[in-house]
Amino acid sequence: MERRIPKHVSIIMDGNGRWAQARGKERVYGHFEGVESVRACTEAAVEEGVEYLSLYAFSEENWNRPAAEVETLMGLMMKSIENEYETLMRNRVRFVVLGNRERLGAALNASIDTLMEQTAGNDRMTLVVFLSYSGKWDILQAMKKAAAELGAEGVQRLGIADVDRYLVTAGIPDPDLLIRTSGEQRISNYLLWQCAYTEFVFTDILWPDFRKEAFRAALDEYARRDRRYGKVK
């Protein structure tokens, strides 16, 4: 029987700091090495026929980290955007950034917009990077957007399926599989609404060590799951 492939795989990329500290290095080395894992998992996802790969790269709460670390992470994002253009085009990957873009610098926002425009026509896979994102922020901005667009009476007529349209993930299917690395087993304010029926896979592997083989193992685990959606089978 053919292995069931999730349409949308999402990853909470965690454990960079611990990976570096275990080697007696500064936390930022873990972030540098983590970029290699992003590349490996993107390639593996394309090879496996995943349609959407989304990555939690920076949470709203992560702004509370030391300024130097925040700066390194933003710089790394900028550099990755500059470096990855060719790989994305070769693999026909569409690049999308979602989150509270107002908190990002003008230069980074401009680079993001450029790469999003350049890759907009790519049709093999969509790579979504969540930057300055949190699930509660997303739900709140959706409420505000819906209220502004529909007014008080219109909001009263909203159905559950209509809410999707106002979340920043509008048009993107909910994750089928959510992977979190580094042994932590929590959602950390990630896709709260969208993960209502997502399958979770937790692994002790630290993000810089999470490469193609580990990604495929998570897909194997997903294929063994029985998704019942509250029904009886």
Q: Where are the beta strands (DSSP E) in 99-176?
A: 125-133
Residue 10, interface with ligand IPE (CB under 6 A)? no
Contacting residues toward Mg ion, per CB under 5 A: 14
From the CB of 72, what's the least distance to ligand IPE, in Å? 10
Cβ 111 to Mg ion, closest distance in Å? Answer: 25
Dump the DSSP string for 96-113: EEES-GGGS-HHHHHHHH
Rounded to 5 degrees, what are φ and ψ at 225?
A: -75, 150
Q: If binding is defined by CB under 6 A, does position 57 make contact with ligand IPE? A: yes
Give all strands of the β-sheet with 93-98 in edge-to-edge order.
Answer: 93-98, 125-133, 52-59, 8-12, 177-180, 199-202
Which one of the spans 57-65, 74-82, 87-95, 156-164 is the region binding ligand IPE (CB under 6 A)? Answer: 57-65
Query: If binding is defined by CB under 6 A, does position 38 make contact with ligand IPE?
Result: no
The C-alpha atoms of residue 9 and residue 201 are separated, in whole angstroms, by: 11
Q: Is 176 tagged catalytic?
A: no
Only one of the segments 43-51, 165-173, 182-190, 195-203 lies at the binding site for ligand IPE (rule: CB under 6 A); that segment is 182-190
122 among known catalytic residues: no
From residue 27, how far is each of 16, 65, 131, 233 by CA, in Å?
A: 7, 12, 19, 47
Distance in Å, CB of 27 to Mg ion, minimum? 10
Q: Show the site string, 71-100: x = touches ligand IPE by CB under 6 A, - = not.
A: --x---------------------------
Taking 3-state DSSP, the helix, strand and coil percentages for the chain, each rounded to the nearest 5, stand at 50, 15, 35
56 interacts with ligand IPE by CB under 6 A:
yes
18 binds ligand IPE (CB under 6 A): yes
Token digits of residue 220: 């194997």
- The reply on whether position 37 binds ligand IPE by CB under 6 A is no
Site for ligand IPE in 186-225 (CB under 6 A): 186, 188, 207
Query: How far lies 176's CA from each of 54, 61, 152, in Å?
Result: 11, 25, 33
The distance of closest approach from Cβ of residue 70 to ligand IPE in the complex, given in angstroms and rounded to an integer, is: 9
The span from the CA of 169 to the CA of 108, in Å, is: 20
Residues that bind ligand IPE (CB under 6 A): 12-18, 56-59, 62, 73, 182, 184, 186, 188, 207
